[in-house]
Chain A
């Protein structure tokens, strides 16, 4: 069965520190997709990244970077030089291609507090 685990419920760091959000997934499919979303206090989920299971290259976008490791079934998200605007709930998610239903399974989220 597919499952996404975000073991860190809540993290607090001081502004400018780096922070890594962990995500571990379970799937029986060989073709799958992983996602990260940000939910700021306004409530709307903002799409950050989508990765397919065949592409293990790390991705960097500004202060954001993602580390995908199939060997440990992890897709971790790092924010470098954090800012107060990064405070939000972050969700990791998984979609299995074999199911053909476009469903995405979300983890329970990690609430990130960036302290000024």
Chain B
């Protein structure tokens, strides 16, 4: 079954700790994305990667970091520098290749930092 997996579904952390959110896809997609969604808000792009070993900042990259060492994986680290990390995080992937293809989403990770 092809798709995108994100783990865990719920994550709790203490303030000041870094935390890494996992995102894996087996759709053979080149492009991957991380979004943040706050209650009642739309999706805001954090980082995206169009190919392995390359990624670009989105609209709200401050306090976050990513890596893209494998085509299938695009982990997101929420660092202690992120002022308001509590949010719903969604990972997505698409065919890439500048084709403006539709993105497919994982189930999301709800992060709570106290």
Q: Output the least CB separation between B2 and chain A (Å).
A: 13
Q: How far is the CA of A32 from the CA of B99 in the complex (A)?
A: 10
Inter-chain contact A91/B42, CB cutoff 8 Å = yes
Interface string of B31-44 (1 = CB under 8 A from A): 10100000001110
Inter-chain contact B42/A43, CB cutoff 8 Å = no
Total contacts A to B, CB within 8 angstroms? Answer: 59
Which B93-113 residues have a C-beta within 8 angstroms of A? 94, 96-108, 110
Q: How far is the CA of A106 from the CA of B110 in the complex (A)?
A: 20
Q: Which residues of A contact B (CB under 8 A)?
A: 32-33, 35, 37, 42-47, 50, 91, 95-97, 100-104, 106-109
Q: Which residues of B contact A (CB under 8 A)?
A: 31, 33, 41-43, 45, 48, 50, 56, 58, 88, 90, 92, 94, 96-108, 110
* A–B pairs, 16, beta carbons within 8 Å: A33-B100, A35-B102, A42-B107, A43-B110, A45-B90, A45-B105, A47-B102, A47-B103, A91-B43, A97-B100, A100-B98, A101-B48, A102-B97, A102-B99, A102-B100, A104-B100
Given A43-B110, A108-B42, 6 further pairs, Cβ under 8 A: A43-B107, A43-B108, A101-B48, A101-B98, A103-B45, A107-B42
